[in-house]
């Protein structure tokens, strides 16, 4: 009882205290140590304000040692700084009153540190510059970071004088030097990127940390706008050269497409195995050089030309036991499709099905050199004659896929059909020769020897086969045979076709000549060739430009500027001079190509702005047109507003809705057929639209530019993962709110984001579009599914396509595309990829990217190109992107010095882990399995050697990798128990 009575008053007292606490601000309890520290610091400040100058220096030194002794933590302000904060302005006054220079500098140092807690923005830097310049790290890491943060703000201020910049630069060098010594390379790089002085980095990086620095710089490159991204890559190149890492330097030179630099690095590298590995890398990237004058020129050009690629591929196929040829029916497995009980309305032997079978047979047995349709001459002829005209050409060209890379056998097989009476089969065989030679640069140049004879032929069909064949055979080649400016030079002969006036120079022939020139000169920014093609376009009238084949000349110009960034600016402007619907489309196309794979956010924003425009066509009129047109018009881009016909068209748009001429029922039925036939053709004026209202001819055409813009978003965003994720979200909006033309382009753009990488969300989206009511959207989605799953044998995709085949069983065109998509999914029996990225997803092969862009561009206007029963041979442009996704290890042959032989070693293959800017030596792969080479690598997988017996010449195990014996390797001896 006593206890409770005692507790009561205590509890009441506590309540009263609490009330007091609420009203009065509670003073923080300080320990004795803190109180003493505060008193000491107050005393020191007081001493400094006294007239006795002899006490200044010892007082400041004591203050300095007190501040330095405090342990700096990230979460709280160090105690001395906290207690000194009220005296900050007093310290500044003291500084001005001190006369002795040494003491003044010491005071400035202390004020610089105190300024971290003040609200004055640049005092830390200013007083640091006025101070005694002691080592910057003595004040702790947080101080250095604070300086770096203020530095980037101060540097960017307007009107900073040169003298001030020199002071700031000196300070920056101190900060960078400190960061480099204390494993903070990332902060050093960030600071130099901020102030745009990356050139300073080269002097401070040491050999131990150059790999981390370069990895960080290169991974920043896709996230920075031009021209900074090029500067980043070139800085990494200089660093690699500084430490004699020639292979990595070559990779950087390839990233910026600097061929002279590649030659220069080759000259510096002396290790013969390293030079061979560099030649292999260039061959994989399809940059083919001449090696005259080098002592090992034969070996280098052999490796660079991929001459033995087929042997290594066949050894992989034997290892996986997949040499047995497959038939199209074995791929379709049509007996598993849901069969209709009352007769299948598609004739099994229809033209389109025969065509699909030839293509699928080529895709599936690509590179194996054995199949069941083409091996026997009579069997092959029977297959060819099941098709008509252009179908024969495409069927005959499919033999090129089967003997891909194997020039000797392939040419002997093609030779059988070069002397047949039928021009279509001959032309197809010429194209097949181009396909076999693509990606292989044989010193004898059989492709140019055989194909150049027919480039100037009197028969258009022969010209078609030979011109496209040359484009595929010499894509991205820099060799003398191709570039020489004289008779029998490949580029020279193709340029002659552009200005040819012979009757056999049809628009189709000229269009293909433009495309082939684009493929051969891809990414060179060759203004002369581009100018000749532009001249050819300028000579055409507005009606001639509506020919779908003219769009290939436009594509050729765009490919020449692929990935050249700002080098294309002048040309983009000059293309705007072409008549508007075409000019707008071409200039957008060239701009999109120039920034392909860079991830440039500003360009993507510009393209989205183009997509947000609404171009109403009177055919597909809705009741809301007038309001939407009213809303869409003010936001027209300046380029569009400047178009002369546009103002009139804009003014006239609301009229049709008010006039009784447009009956709500009739035109809408028209419109259902319309989109399938016309707006899918971006370059072609909509005939029925122009009949309906004379004022609106310019309107529907501009949608062609929007289709290109959608493709462009996919093309630019494929550069980095974050950009791809954002693009996926944007495509969702475009599908919901965009015009029909935009909807048709979205599936193709989606496929560019994840080529040969069947992600579930993308497959689901494409599957939804493949059942779309608009046939063109469905066609594009089906083909896109083929691109996304190319060469993966993905089981879910195979099942989806099988269901689609029974869904579209009545529609011959859709069914043909489903079959082609099935063939692509089983590309090379699941051993190949179309993905243009390689070398640990850091290099983007220009010819592979060009081939993917070309085919997607054709599908924007599929009814006038790939699906018009004539130009299905354009599907063969995909050949340039087909590469085996294997890892084969080679070692120098001791019996034959100088040559390489295959060696099977154990490797671990697992999911790649991003190790950029991680401390220590983190694991680069996770969830690995151990295999023996040769081995297949899926998308996003990485390999490393399982033991130290061999050292790889390249850090990236992909494709053909040369190994060296490790001289320090000690085999593990397992002692057996007695």
Give the pLDDT confidence of 792-842 residue by residue, as tens digits. Answer: 988 899 999 988 888 888 888 888 899 999 999 998 888 899 998 888 888
Q: Strand (E) positions, 472-572?
A: none
Please tell me which of 78-82, 92-96, 502-506, 512-516 the model is most confident about, judged by mean pLDDT.
512-516
Tell me the percentage of the chain whose pLDDT exceeds 70: 85
Average pLDDT over residues 722-733: 87
Once rounded to an integer, what is the mean pLDDT over residues 37-53?
83
Rg (CA), the chain: 35
Residue 959, pLDDT above cutoff 50: yes
* pLDDT at 870 (0 to 100): 77
Report the relative pairing of strands 886-892 and 959-965 from DSSP bridges: parallel
| pLDDT higher at 613 or 309 | 309
pLDDT at 781: 92
pLDDT of amino acid 12? 54
Q: Contact, 643 vs 633, CB < 8 A? A: no
Residue 788 is predicted with a pLDDT of: 92
Q: What is the 3-state secondary structure (H, E, C) of 921-957?
A: CCCCEEEEEEEECCEECCCCEEEEECCCCEEECCCCC
Instruction: Return the H-helix or E-strand segment holding 243.
Output: none
Mean pLDDT of 539-552: 83
The better pLDDT of the pair 888, 6 is held by 888
CA angle 495, 501, 502 (to 5 degrees): 105
Is pLDDT larger for residue 887 or for residue 27? 887
Residue 632: which pLDDT band, with cuts at 50, 70 and 90?
very low
Query: Over pLDDT 90: what percentage of the chain?
Result: 7
Are the C-beta atoms of 952 and 963 separated by less than 8 Å? yes
Average pLDDT score, the chain: 79
Res 929 pLDDT > 60:
yes
Phi-psi sector, 421: left (phi>0), alpha (psi -120 to 50), beta? alpha
Interatomic CA distance for residues 153 and 149, integer angstroms: 7
Q: Which residue has the higher pLDDT, 523 or 685?
A: 523
Model confidence at 719, pLDDT cuts 50, 70, 90, reads confident
- Residue 743: alpha-carbon gap to chain centroid: 23
Question: Residue 195, by phi and psi: left (phi above 0), alpha (psi -120 to 50) or beta?
Answer: alpha
DSSP secondary structure, 329-373, as one string? HHHH-GGGS---SS--SS-TT-HHHHHHHHHHHHHHTTTTS--SS
Model confidence at 689, pLDDT cuts 50, 70, 90, reads: very low
Q: What is the pLDDT of residue 655?
A: 36
Give the residue carrying structure tokens 């490796």.
303
Q: 685's torsion region: left (phi>0), alpha (psi -120 to 50) or beta?
A: beta
605: left (phi over 0), alpha (psi -120 to 50) or beta: alpha
Lowest-confidence segment of 3-7, 333-337, 779-783 by average pLDDT: 3-7
Give residue 348's pLDDT band: very low, low, confident or very high (50, 70, 90). Answer: low
Q: Where do runs of H (alpha helix) occur along 407-506?
A: 407-415, 423-437, 446-455, 460-473, 480-483, 490-498
Contact partners, residue 23, CB within 8 Å, separation at least 6: none
- Residue at token pair 């790999």: 211
Question: Span 36-56, mean pLDDT?
Answer: 83
Of 115-119, 534-538, 760-764, the range with the highest mean pLDDT is 760-764
233-290 tens-digit pLDDT: 999 999 999 988 888 899 999 888 888 888 888 888 888 888 889 888 888 888 877 7
Query: Can you give the pTM of this predicted structure?
Result: 0.81
Q: Is the pLDDT assigned to residue 784 strictly greater than 90?
A: yes
Please report how the helices 246-255 and 210-220 are oriented relative to each other, as an axis angle in degrees rounded to 10: 10
Q: Assign 838 to helix, strand or coil.
A: strand
Structure-model confidence comparison of residues 268 and 657, the more confident one: 268
Q: Any residues with CB less than 8 A from the CB of 352 and at least 6 apart, and which?
A: 812, 813, 815, 816
């Amino acid at each position: 009882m006593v206890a409770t009575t005692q507790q009561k008053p205590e509890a009441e007292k506590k309540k009263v205290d609490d009330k007091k606490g609420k009203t009065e601000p509670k003073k923080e309890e300080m320990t004795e140590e803190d109180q003493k520290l505060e008193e000491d610091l107050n005393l020191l400040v007081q001493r400094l304000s006294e007239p006795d100058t002899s006490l200044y220096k010892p007082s400041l030194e004591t203050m300095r040692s007190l501040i330095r002794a405090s342990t700096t933590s990230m979460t709280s302000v160090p105690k001395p700084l906290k207690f000194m904060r009220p005296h900050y302005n007093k310290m500044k006054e003291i500084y001005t009153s001190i006369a002795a220079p040494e003491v003044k500098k010491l005071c400035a140092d202390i004020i610089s540190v105190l300024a971290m807690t003040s609200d004055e923005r640049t005092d830390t830097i200013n007083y640091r510059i006025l101070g005694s310049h002691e080592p910057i790290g003595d004040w702790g890491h947080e101080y250095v970071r604070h300086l770096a943060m203020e530095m980037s703000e101060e540097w960017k201020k307007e009107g900073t004088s040169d003298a001030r910049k020199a002071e700031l630069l000196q300070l920056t060098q101190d900060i960078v030097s400190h960061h480099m010594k204390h494993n903070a390379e990332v902060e050093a790089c960030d600071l130099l990127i901020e102030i745009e002085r990356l050139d300073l980095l080269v002097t401070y990086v040491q050999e131990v940390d150059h790999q981390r620095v370069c990895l960080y710089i290169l991974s920043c490159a896709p996230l920075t706008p031009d021209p900074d991204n090029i500067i980043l890559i070139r800085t990494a190149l200089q660093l690699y050269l500084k430490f004699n890492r020639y292979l990595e330097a070559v990779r950087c030179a390839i990233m910026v497409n600097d061929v002279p630099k590649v030659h220069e690095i080759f000259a510096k590298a002396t290790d013969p195995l390293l030079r061979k590995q560099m030649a292999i890398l260039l061959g994989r990237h399809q940059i083919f050089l001449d090696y005259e004058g080098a002592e090992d020129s034969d070996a280098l050009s052999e490796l660079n030309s991929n001459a033995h690629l087929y042997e290594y591929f066949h050894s992989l196929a034997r290892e996986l036991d997949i040499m047995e040829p497959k038939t199209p029916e074995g791929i379709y497995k049509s007996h598993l499709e849901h069969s209709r009980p009352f007769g299948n309305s598609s004739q099994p032997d229809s033209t389109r099905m025969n065509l699909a079978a030839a293509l699928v047979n080529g895709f599936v047995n690509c590179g194996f050199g054995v199949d069941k349709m083409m091996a026997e001459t009579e069997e092959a002829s029977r297959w060819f004659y099941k098709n008509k005209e252009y179908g024969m050409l495409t069927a005959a060209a499919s033999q090129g896929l089967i003997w891909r890379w194997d020039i000797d056998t392939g040419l002997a097989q093609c030779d059988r059909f070069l002397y047949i009476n039928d021009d279509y089969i001959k032309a197809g065989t010429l194209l097949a020769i181009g396909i076999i030679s693509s990606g292989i640069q044989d010193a004898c140049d059989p492709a140019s020897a055989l194909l150049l004879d027919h480039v100037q032929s009197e028969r258009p069909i022969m010209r078609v086969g030979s011109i496209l064949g040359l484009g595929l055979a010499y894509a991205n080649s820099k060799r003398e045979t191709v570039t020489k400016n004289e008779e029998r030079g490949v580029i020279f002969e193709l340029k002659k076709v552009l200005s040819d006036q012979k009757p056999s120079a049809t628009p189709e022939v000229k269009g293909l000549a433009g495309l082939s020139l684009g493929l051969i000169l891809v990414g060179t920014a060759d203004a002369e060739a581009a100018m000749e093609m532009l001249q050819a376009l300028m000579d055409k009238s507005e009606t001639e430009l509506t020919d779908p084949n003219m769009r290939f000349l436009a594509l050729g110009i765009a490919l020449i500027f692929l990935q050249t960034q700002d080098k294309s600016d002048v040309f983009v402007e000059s293309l705007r001079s072409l008549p508007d619907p075409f000019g707008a489309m071409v200039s957008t196309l060239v701009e999109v190509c120039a920034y392909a794979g860079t991830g440039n956010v500003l360009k993507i924003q510009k393209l989205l702005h183009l997509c947000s425009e609404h171009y109403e066509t009177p055919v597909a009129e809705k009741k809301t047109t007038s309001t939407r047109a009213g809303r869409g018009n003010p936001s027209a881009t300046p380029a569009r507003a400047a178009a002369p016909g546009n103002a009139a068209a804009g003014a006239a748009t609301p009229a049709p809705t008010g006039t009784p001429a447009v009956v709500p029922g009739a035109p809408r039925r028209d419109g259902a057929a319309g989109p399938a036939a016309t707006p899918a053709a971006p370059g072609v004026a909509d005939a029925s639209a122009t009949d309906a209202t004379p004022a609106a001819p310019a309107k529907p055409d501009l949608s062609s530019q929007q289709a290109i813009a959608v493709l462009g978003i996919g093309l630019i965003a494929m550069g980095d993962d974050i950009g791809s994720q954002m693009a996926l979200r944007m495509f969702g909006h475009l599908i919901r709110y965009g015009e029909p033309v935009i909807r048709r382009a979205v599936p193709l753009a989606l496929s560019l984001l994840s080529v040969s990488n069947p992600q579930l969300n993308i497959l689901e989206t494409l599957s939804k579009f493949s059942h779309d009511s608009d046939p063109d959207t469905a066609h594009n989605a089906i083909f896109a599914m083929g691109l996304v799953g190319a060469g993966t044998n993905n089981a879910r995709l195979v099942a989806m396509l099988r269901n689609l085949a029974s869904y579209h069983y009545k529609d011959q065109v859709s069914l043909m595309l489903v079959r082609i998509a099935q063939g692509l999914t089983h590309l090379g029996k699941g051993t190949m990829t179309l993905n243009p990225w390689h070398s640990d997803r850091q290099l983007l092969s220009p010819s592979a990217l060009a081939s993917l862009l070309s085919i997607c561009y054709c599908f924007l206007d599929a009814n006038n190109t790939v699906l018009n029963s004539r130009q299905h041979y354009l599907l063969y442009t995909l050949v340039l992107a087909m590469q085996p996704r294997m890892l084969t290890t080679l070692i120098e042959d001791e019996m034959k010095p100088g040559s390489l032989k295959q060696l099977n070693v154990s490797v671990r293959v697992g999911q790649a882990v991003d190790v950029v800017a991680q401390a220590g030596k983190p694991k680069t792969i996770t969830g690995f399995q151990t295999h023996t080479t040769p081995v297949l690598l899926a998308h996003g997988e990485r390999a490393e050697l399982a033991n130290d017996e061999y050292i790889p010449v390249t850090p990236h195990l992909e494709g053909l990798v040369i190994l060296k014996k490790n001289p320090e390797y000690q085999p593990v001896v397992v002692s057996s128990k007695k």
